Each structure stands twice: as structure tokens, then as C-alpha cells.
């Protein structure tokens, strides 16, 4: 099974809550990004390896304002999720239709931005999962500048390293350290199965105490 197939399977079988619970059990209790970051389509689910991009606010027009931004997007690889760190900028519309299009064509699975985006109608039509804190129809030129990529960043309050596994849905975004990925997903799949059995037996009339004592999930 290649990465794309693996990520597709995760999107079909898992959800952020069960992954977050699993990370909690392993002692990693600060792996969920800020609740301010949400998908522009609540039905979107995304999983992939982190491709980090760092942008900072500026208050001047650089000579070549898009140089590093273009370089970063052109280096996106299949199976990656772009992590756009703006330090929660309120003035910079980092992400939009054209970056989404370029990233999708290069095989990216989505983008997570801890700031504002634009062109949401076109992004929705494109079907490229994008999560953000909100929208603002401003260009980044003279407002924000990409200064680096493929480096550790703090996005939504969580440290994200290149290659970490990102999983997001309508409930939020979880960051799984790459070295824990196999263990986390194995445990999460087991927990999801037990939760399914719990739900079925609750619907059959058993009490919450009965099914919790049997399956140990809540």
C-alpha cells in the first residue's frame, strides 16, 4: 500500500477525536491545532505529510514578493498537506485559488492555514481541502512574505515538523509526530472498532456502564 492509498484509507476509517484520544493515551496531549482553524467545506477530510511554509507580516513592497512562495509551492510533493504558518496574521491573505490549483496538480492533499484565505468559491469548485481561520480578499503582496519552507513551524499552537502526519476533519486538525504514525494509527483503528461496537450495543438498549465496562471507550 503506497502513501496515497494509506491516507485514503485513514480518511475513510478514522476521525480526529479517536486520533486525539490515542495521542493522549501515549502522553502527547498538545497535538490538536486551535479551534479557530476550520475547513471551508465541513465535509472535507484530509490526511497527509506536512509540507511547512512560513510567512511573516510585512509593511512594504519587496522587489520580488512571491519568490519564496512560488519556490515553496513548486516543491510540493504527492501526499503532502501544506501547512501555511502566518503567525495568525489578520492582514495577510496567504492562500487562494491559484496556490490551491498548483498544489493539487503537484499531488498535495490539502492545505492548513493558521490565518486568512481568499477565493473560497473557486477553491470549493476545485475540491481541494483547505482549512483556515477565516477569509479576507486581500493579496499577500506588501502584507505578508514567505521567508522559508520545509522547516519546523508552530501552526495553530502546535509544533509541526516537515513529514509529520496531518489529519483534519470538521472537528479540527491533529498533528501526529512522524515517528509515532504507525503506532498511533494501529491503536486508533482498534479504538474506532471498539467505539463502533459500543454504539451498536447502546442502540440495542444496553446501558452506558455495561458497554463501557466491556469495551473501555467513551
119 in a labelled binding site: yes
Task: Give the three-state DSSP class for 96.
Answer: coil
Only one residue has cell 512594504, namely 60
What would the DSSP string read from start to end of 55-110?
EEE-SS--SSTTHHHHHHHHT--TTEEEEEE-SS-SS-EEE-HHHHHHHHHTT--E
118 in a known ligand binding site: yes
Nearest to 132 by CA among 8, 10, 57, 46: 46
Confirm whether residue 97 is marked as ligand binding.
Answer: yes
**Residue 60 main-chain phi, psi, to 5 deg:** -155, 170
Instruction: Return the bridge partners of 134, or none.
Output: 116
Do residues 113 and 132 lie in contact, with contact meaning Cβ atoms separated by under 8 Å?
Answer: yes
Binding site for substrate: which residues? 96-99, 118
Binding site: which residues? 96-99, 118-119
Binding site for Mg(2+): which residues? 119
Amino acid at each position: 500500500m503506497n502513501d496515497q492509498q494509506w491516507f485514503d484509507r485513514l480518511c475513510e476509517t478514522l476521525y480526529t477525536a479517536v486520533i486525539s484520544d490515542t495521542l493522549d493515551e501515549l502522553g502527547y496531549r498538545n497535538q490538536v491545532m486551535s479551534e479557530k482553524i476550520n475547513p471551508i467545506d465541513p465535509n472535507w477530510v484530509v490526511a497527509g505529510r506536512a509540507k511547512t511554509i512560513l510567512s511573516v507580516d510585512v509593511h512594504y513592497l519587496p522587489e520580488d514578493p512571491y519568490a519564496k512562495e512560488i519556490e515553496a509551492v513548486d516543491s510540493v510533493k504527492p501526499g503532502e498537506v501544506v501547512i501555511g504558518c502566518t503567525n495568525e496574521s489578520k492582514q495577510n491573505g496567504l492562500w487562494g485559488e491559484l496556490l490551491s490549483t498548483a498544489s493539487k496538480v503537484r499531488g498535495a492533499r490539502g492545505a492548513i492555514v493558521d490565518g486568512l484565505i481568499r477565493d473560497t468559491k473557486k477553491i470549493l469548485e476545485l475540491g481541494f481541502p483547505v482549512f483556515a481561520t477565516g477569509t479576507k480578499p486581500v493579496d499577500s503582496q506588501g502584507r505578508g512574505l514567505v521567508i522559508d519552507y520545509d522547516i519546523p513551524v508552530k501552526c495553530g499552537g502546535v509544533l509541526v515538523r516537515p513529514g509529520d502526519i496531518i489529519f483534519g476533519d470538521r472537528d479540527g486538525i491533529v498533528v501526529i509526530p512522524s515517528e509515532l504514525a504507525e503506532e498511533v494509527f494501529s491503536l486508533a483503528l482498534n479504538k474506532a472498532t471498539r467505539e463502533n461496537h459500543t454504539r451498536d450495543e447502546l442502540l440495542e438498549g444496553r446501558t452506558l456502564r455495561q458497554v463501557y465496562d466491556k469495551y473501555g471507550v467513551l
